[in-house]
Structure 1
Amino acid sequence: MRKLLKTTLAVAVLAAGVGALSGCETNEALGRSQLILVDESAMQQAAAAAWQEQLKSGKVSKDASMNARVQKVGARIVAAAGMGGQPWQYVVFDNDQPNAFVLPGNKVGVNTGLFKAVKNDDQLAAVLGHETGHVIARHAAERASQNAATQVGLQVATGVTKGRVQQVVANYGGLGAQLGILMPYSRKQESEADFIGVDLMVKAGYKASESVALWQNMSALGGNKPPEFMSTHPSDTTRIKGLQDYITTKGYK
């Protein structure tokens, strides 16, 4: 959620290199088209390797209660998504950072630190619904494609400009593309996953309003956070407002 695993970006970059071009595709869950330039089966293979590395390098929690809760709530969420027939793997990591993540291939990690903010199963459903939302929205493939397209654009720009302009593009083009294209787009993806997650919560029998309570709890934890324009995630305030508006619009409780 707040911070994706470094391996996720590595997987995206690798997948972009081996992927096959497929162009723009319409995602009905989002109601918009997506630029998909990567082979998702290749992404899943790369993600599987990254996941195994994470299992080796990370400390898997033996807390029976936490593991049971994640498994139970996760099963209800994916069933609500109509994805219960697919293999899903949930692992709780002994890590104090309040974070969760999903990798291609339906591999979900939840840190023990998340339970500092998660006070009940409804709030846990908000987390797992959000991660499942990323899968439904095909955000990993989209983000990898966005990275690939941006890198190609920067290389072209560097190749066709001369002198000082060329040097500026070479030195600052990557940062400009990151702040101007990739990060804002990622914030959009995060909001989309939030909203899909709320829909899944409700369908699974959880309270939509607890997604707001979750982010209020996360905000209360404090900690150093970058300005929103420098972050891949919406600020807590933006996120809470977006969820409140969405829940009101949908008539959820």
Structure 2
Amino acid sequence: MKSTKLRKLITGTIAASLLAFPLSFGTVPAPAAEAGTSSILGAIVGGVAAHSQLDALLRKYNDSEEGRQEYFREMKKQYGVNEDWALNQQLDRIMTNLTAGIGAVDSSVYNKPYNYFINNQKGFNAFCTIGHNLSVNTGLYNVLTNEDEIAVVLAHELGHGQKDHPVKGARNSLNMQILGAATGSQAGALVAQVINNRHITKPMENEADALAFDYITHTNYNPGATAAVWQRVLDLSKSKASAVQEFLSDHPADDDRRDAYVKKLSSYSGNHVTNKDGLIRINTKDFTTPAAAGGMSARERSYFVMGNLAAAYHNGHDKRRAYVDGNTVMLGAQPIMTCVSGDESASTLAERLNAIK
């Protein structure tokens, strides 16, 4: 390969790597902005001088309104924009709800409002990058159809954004690597390291998961969706759903994330409600095992019922008697479970709930 072509390849790759920080739902490189690419290559060859180059670049695209809007436009150019009316209406609604949920615990969300759009990529992914720029792959909607579960995915990404994980991860990782690159002959090795390092750490993932639960519980979304979404991914991974299989290849164990959320749900209920492999127990007494329904496995659905019960206990609805409204078991003002074919009757469940709650 000619030196000119090699230089262009390295320059473009490094620029894209510096700016990209797709998070927990897949590897999608963010677009390379033209500004600063040649200086980045020079900075890497120069070693220590890269600190100022890197900081200036990240400050521009993460902190300045002009820079983050420029970066957002570049994202749209590279990935394309899905203009589906219904999906965009839903995304607007989710982002509005989540922003209010975040605002209840972290008012800084209003200081740098998120930019977001649905892109045309077919993989199962959503990602937040620098500048509070967020995008959702069209392919995500082939896996998730429940708004509550989609909201959990986005809440996780917003957790990364709120803690500035994208820029922190890029700066920490790249500073260490750049400092070790003193000559141009080492640039190739550096590029390989940057490409293979997604800049995200396990503590960052855990923090974003915990924040997602906090945000969701400050909205009207079912908190049980936090566990249900990972059960859905696990269920689909058993099939030949290639998008999910690809997603699973380089991410934290989904059963661990599901189980962590089940513990949070139990704690949220005041430890009144537990779930063991789909069997919901209240105060250590068996309540029910919901049937599969609505495109959900029995176990996925059980987490939604658990979420409703957890919310009922957390909000004090357990002080009221359970009753039946149509086919729905109610506890105070909180719907618990709408019974379908394969479930026990709503009246049976309401009676049992009153006996064990």
Contact 2:60–2:68 (Cα < 8 Å) also in 1: no
How far does the alpha carbon of each residue in 1:50-90 deviate from its partner, in whole angstroms, 9 at most, with x for none?
Answer: 43222123231121111000101111111221224643322
Structure 1 residue 185, shift from structure 2 partner: 5.2
- Cα distance in structure 2, aligned partners of 1:41 and 1:227: 33
- 1:64 corresponds to which of 85, 104, 125: 85
Superposition deviation, residue 145 in structure 1 = 2.2
The answer to whether the 8 A contact 2:230-2:258 is kept is yes
After TM superposition, give the deviation of residue 206 of structure 1 in Å.
1.4
Q: Which moved more, 1:85-94 or 1:57-66?
A: 85-94
Give TM-score, length-normalised by structure 2: 0.51
* Aligned counterpart for 1:245 among listed residues 258, 263, 279: 263
Structure-2 change in CA distance of 1:47 and 1:85 (3 Å): closer
Kindly state the Cα deviation for residue 226 of structure 1 after the two structures are TM-superposed.
8.4
- Provide the alpha-carbon RMSD of the alignment: 3.6
| 2:126 aligned with 1:107 | no
The alpha-carbon deviation at position 155 of structure 1 amounts to 4.2
1:243 partner amino acid: Y
- Which whole-Å deviations, capped at 9, do the CAs of 1:7-37 have from their partners, x for residues lacking one? 27999x97963317xxxxxxxxxxxxxxxxx
Higher Cα Rg: structure 1 or 2?
A: 2
Higher RCO, 1 or 2 (CA under 8 Å, sep at least 6)? 1
Task: Determine whether 1:77 maps to 2:98.
Answer: yes
Cα distance in structure 1, aligned partners of 2:102 and 2:32: 26
Task: Answer yes or no: is the 8 Å Cα contact 2:128–2:135 preserved in 1.
Answer: yes
Letter in 2 for 1:124: I
Which of 217, 221, 234 is the matching residue for 2:232? 217
CA distance in 2, matches of 1:76, 1:195: 18
Q: 5+ residue gaps in structure 1?
A: 21-37, 159-166
Aligned-pair CA distance for 1:129: 0.8
| Per-residue deviation, 1:152 | 4.5
- CA deviation vs aligned residue, 1:130-187 (integer Å, no higher than 9, x gap): 111011111012201221332156448x9xxxxxxxx9xx979x76x998xx669523
- 1:206 aligned to which of 221, 225, 229: 221
How far, CA to CA, are the matches of 1:10 and 1:250 in structure 2? 44
In structure 1, distance between residues paired with 2:247 and 2:94 = 31
Structure 2 match to 1:141: 167
- Per the alignment, residue 186 of structure 1 pairs with 201
CA distance in 1, matches of 2:218, 2:234: 26
Distance 1:129 1:227, change over 3 A: closer
TM-aligned CA deviation for residue 213 of structure 1: 1.2
How far the C-alpha of 1:47 sits from its partner, in A, is 4.9
User: How many residue pairs get matched?
Assistant: 218
Give yes or no for the alignment of 1:130 onto 2:156.
Answer: yes
The question of whether the paired residues in 1 share the 8 Å contact of 2:54 and 2:171 is answered with: no
SS of the residue 2:217 aligns to: helix
Determine if the alignment matches structure 1 residue 18 to structure 2 residue 37: no
- 1:132 alignment partner AA: L
Per the alignment, residue 43 of structure 1 pairs with: 62
Are the aligned partners of 1:8 and 1:103 in contact in 2 as well (CA < 8 Å)?
no
Which ranges of structure 2 fall in alignment gaps of 5 or more residues? Answer: 1-23, 41-49, 104-108, 270-306, 311-357
Whether contact under 8 Å (1:18, 1:42) holds in the other structure is no
The structure where helix makes up a greater share of residues is 1
Deviation at 1:39, TM superposition (A): 5.5
Post-superposition CA distance 1:184-211 (Å, at most 9, x none): 9523312211110111011012122102
Q: Which amino acid aligns with 1:203?
A: H
Query: Could you say what secondary structure the match of 1:221 adopts?
Result: helix
Give the direction of change, closer, same or farther, for the CA distance of 1:39–1:107 in structure 2 (3 Å limit).
closer
Question: Is residue 77–residue 129 contact of structure 1 (8 Å, CA) maintained in 2?
Answer: yes
